[in-house]
Amino acid sequence: MSQKSSKPLRKAVLPVAGLGTRFLPATKAMAKEMLPVVDKPLIQYAIEEARAAGIEQFCMVTGRGKTALVEHFDIAFELEATLRERNRHEALAVLEATRVEPGSMVTVRQQVPLGLGHAIWCARAFIGDDPFAILLPDDLVLSEQSCLGQLADAYRETGGNVVAVTEVPREHTNRYGILDIGLDDGRLVEVKGLVEKPAPEDAPSNLSIIGRYVLMPEVIGHLARMERGAGNEVQLTDGMAKLIGQQPFHGVRYEGKRFDCGDKIGFLEAQIAFALKRPEMAEAVRAFLKTYTDA
């Protein structure tokens, strides 16, 4: 096995080129990552989670019609000037959280939808020779410590590839990438293999990867071969599998509740869960929920 990485984790890639067809017509002229959960778009939750894990540099892999994602993290001079004139200091403070350091965010285009592995390969110049995180904004995690922060801790412990994992019903393993695991201490699991969407009777475990990863840059060399996998796409899972046995590779049973915001029911559930965590909203939300659930 190759030497563990000792480089700090400072970079994150956010693949955001998808069309968001499951949310049409809302996403006809709007990036799905700009859909708000309560009052923040999904992309902002992802950036804030990355920052909480110590990430300093961001690369969004975008497609046509995604310019609003970049605009969201820019300075809105006219809006901020108007808010200052009206002494709207609370609103200004809210906008402050959307800013990123100058030069810390870049974008690259994924011109053709060839899969998640291809999207990550598009960010190869940004990644260089550094370890990097991947955050899929569709996966939103409500937790005390950010999900990526938990992965960053595990990366510092192991010096290798780390993925966030969760248990799924055995009968649903054919929907996910599933881990073949070795040593397991209840939190950190050794990854011996990755199996894409196995039948329940063939699944080596019921641990599935969610949209949070910390990977070594060597994965780019494997993705560069453009080998097609499931769905005739370049699969990130296939590239990661090539690293197993060559570098440390672990799954982390993260603490927190994950919401699949690429699904309408998951998105609606996230709205309620995040609203209930807001002290100024929780009581009112519980009250109106009661009027529907009692009906």
- Each residue's pLDDT, cut to its tens digit, for the chain (295 residues) gives 455 767 999 999 999 988 888 988 988 888 899 999 999 999 999 999 999 999 999 999 998 878 888 888 888 889 989 989 899 988 888 888 888 888 899 999 988 888 899 999 999 999 999 999 999 999 999 999 999 999 999 999 999 999 999 998 888 888 788 899 988 888 999 999 988 788 888 889 999 999 999 999 999 989 988 877 777 777 898 889 999 988 999 999 999 999 999 999 999 999 999 999 999 999 999 999 998 887 5
d(CA 45, CA 7): 25
Residue with token string 């990123």: 100
pLDDT of res. 122: 94
Domain regions of the chain by residue span: 11-262, 264-295
By the 8 A CB rule, do 139 and 254 touch? Answer: no
Please, is 70 exposed, middle or buried when counting C-beta atoms within 10 Å of its C-beta (0-12, 13-18, 19+)? Answer: middle
pLDDT of res. 43: 95
Q: Which two tokens stand for residue 262?
A: 């690429």
**CATH code assigned to 11-262:** 3.90.550.10
Q: In 3D, which of 131, 147, 59, 137 has the Cα closest to residue 100? A: 59
Backbone angles phi, psi at 219, to 5 degrees: -65, -25
pLDDT of res. 234: 77
pLDDT of res. 2: 53
By the 8 A CB rule, do 209 and 165 touch? Answer: yes
Q: In 3D, which of 137, 65, 70 has the Cα closest to residue 105? A: 70
Q: Does the pTM of the predicted model rise above 0.85?
A: yes
